[in-house]
C-alpha cells in the first residue's frame, strides 16, 4: 500500500468514534463532524515513525487505534522510551508545550490508525468547550509520569524499575488472557531495557527468573504478567539477597 493509499482511507469516519474521547466529549456531533472533516486519516504499520524529534511541528495527532511509542535521544546518543500512548489520546501537541518543534519521536508500537490536523488549526480547536481543559490535563498527566520516571531512575533498584514498568504497561494497555494480563502490543526485551534505562542482559536475566517463578511469561514480542500481586510486591522491595 502506498502512502497515498494509506492516507484518507478513513476520511468518512463516523463522529460517534470521537464522542467518548475527552477532548471531544463535550462537543455537539455537528462540531465533531466539522473537526473530522478537517482531519487527515492514516493507517500506519508497526514500527513506522509518525514524526521525529526536532522536526517542525506542522501537525498534531489523535490515536484512534493501536499504540504509540515515544522515544527520546539522550546527550550521549542513547535511545530511551519515554512513554507509551494508548488509543483515544492526542499526541504531537507541541503547541500545548509552547514549542514549534516536536520534543520527541513518535513510532507506532503496533499497527495504528491516526488522525491529524495542521497545527494552524490549533487555536481554533482550543476555543471548543472542553478541548483546551482536557488537552492540558493530558499534558499534566504526561509531565507527571515523566517526573515519576525520573524519580524511579534515581532511587529504585533495576528490579523495581522493570517491575514498575510492566505494571504500568498492563494498567494502561493490558488485556486479559488465560495466562494473566498481556501487554496489548508487541514489546521486546530491548524495548523494556530502553524503557527502564538498563541493559538488555539485565532485563533478560530478570524476565527469565520471573518466568521460572511463575510471575510472567515472555515470548517473541509478547509479555504476559501472570501474577500482578507478586510483581507489585517486587516493585516495592529491594533486590533479593
Q: 23, 64 in Cβ contact below 8 A?
A: no
pLDDT at 6: 47
Closest by alpha carbon to 69, among 106, 114, 42, 14? 106
Rounded CA gap, 35 and 80, in Å? 34
Residue 157 has pLDDT above 80, yes or no: yes
- Picking from 102, 129, 153, the residue at the C-terminal end of a domain is 153
Of the listed ranges 124-133, 169-178, 212-221, the least confidently predicted one is 124-133
pLDDT above 60 for 2: no
Q: What is the CATH number of the domain that holds 207?
A: 1.10.10.10
pLDDT band at 228 (very low <50, low <70, confident <90, very high): very high
Task: Kindly tell me the burial class for residue 228, based on how many C-beta atoms sit within 10 Å of its own C-beta (0-12, 13-18, 19 or more).
Answer: middle
Q: Which of 153, 178, 212 is the last residue of a domain?
A: 153
Q: Is there a domain that residue 37 lies in?
A: yes
Torsion of Cα atoms, 214 then 166 then 195 then 139, to 10°: 180
Q: How confident is the model at residue 238 (pLDDT cuts 50, 70, 90)?
A: low
Answer yes or no: is 66 within a domain: yes
Domain match, 169 and 146 both: no
Answer whether residue 215 is part of any domain. yes
Write out pLDDT tens, residues 91-145. Answer: 999 998 899 999 999 999 999 999 999 999 999 998 887 788 888 888 888 888 8
List residues bridging with 219 in a β-sheet.
222
Q: What's the rounded Cα separation, in Å, for the pair 80 and 195? A: 6
> Is it the case that residue 1 has pLDDT exceeding 60?
no
C-alpha cell at 81: 522510551
Range of the domain at 202: 157-235
Q: Which of 153, 184, 210 is the last residue of a domain?
A: 153
Ranking 11-15, 139-143, 178-182 by mean pLDDT, the lowest is 11-15
Q: Are residues 120 and 201 in the same domain?
A: no
For cell 500482578, name the residue: 228
**40 φ/ψ angles, rounded to the nearest 5 degrees:** -115, 135
List the alpha helices (DSSP H) in the chain. Answer: 3-6, 29-37, 122-126, 131-155, 158-173, 189-196, 200-212, 228-235
Question: From CA 104, how far away is CA 19, in angstroms rounded?
Answer: 28
Amino acid at each position: 500500500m502506498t502512502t497515498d493509499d494509506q492516507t484518507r482511507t478513513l476520511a468518512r469516519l463516523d463522529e460517534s468514534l470521537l464522542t467518548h474521547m475527552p477532548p471531544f466529549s463535550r462537543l455537539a456531533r455537528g462540531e465533531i463532524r466539522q473537526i473530522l472533516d478537517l482531519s487527515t486519516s492514516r493507517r500506519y504499520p508497526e514500527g513506522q515513525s509518525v514524526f521525529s524529534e526536532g522536526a517542525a511541528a506542522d501537525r498534531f495527532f489523535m490515536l484512534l487505534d493501536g499504540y504509540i511509542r515515544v522515544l527520546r535521544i539522550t546527550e550521549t546518543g542513547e535511545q530511551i522510551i519515554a512513554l507509551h500512548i494508548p488509543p483515544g489520546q492526542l499526541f504531537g501537541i507541541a503547541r500545548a508545550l509552547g514549542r514549534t518543534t516536536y520534543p520527541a519521536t513518535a513510532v507506532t508500537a503496533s499497527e495504528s490508525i491516526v488522525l491529524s490536523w495542521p497545527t494552524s488549526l490549533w487555536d481554533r480547536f482550543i476555543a471548543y468547550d472542553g478541548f483546551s481543559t482536557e488537552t492540558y490535563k493530558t499534558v499534566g498527566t504526561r509531565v507527571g509520569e515523566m517526573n515519576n520516571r525520573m524519580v524511579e531512575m534515581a532511587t529504585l533498584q533495576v528490579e523495581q524499575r522493570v517491575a514498575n514498568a510492566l505494571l504500568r504497561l498492563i494498567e494502561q494497555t493490558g488485556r486479559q488472557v488465560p495466562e494473566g494480563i498481556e501487554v496489548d502490543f508487541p514489546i521486546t526485551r530491548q524495548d523494556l531495557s530502553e524503557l527502564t534505562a538498563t541493559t538488555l542482559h539485565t532485563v533478560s536475566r530478570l524476565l527469565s527468573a520471573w518466568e521460572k517463578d511463575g510471575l510472567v511469561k515472555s515470548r517473541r514480542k509478547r509479555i504476559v504478567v501472570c501474577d500482578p500481586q507478586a510483581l507489585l510486591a517486587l516493585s516495592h522491595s529491594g533486590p533479593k539477597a
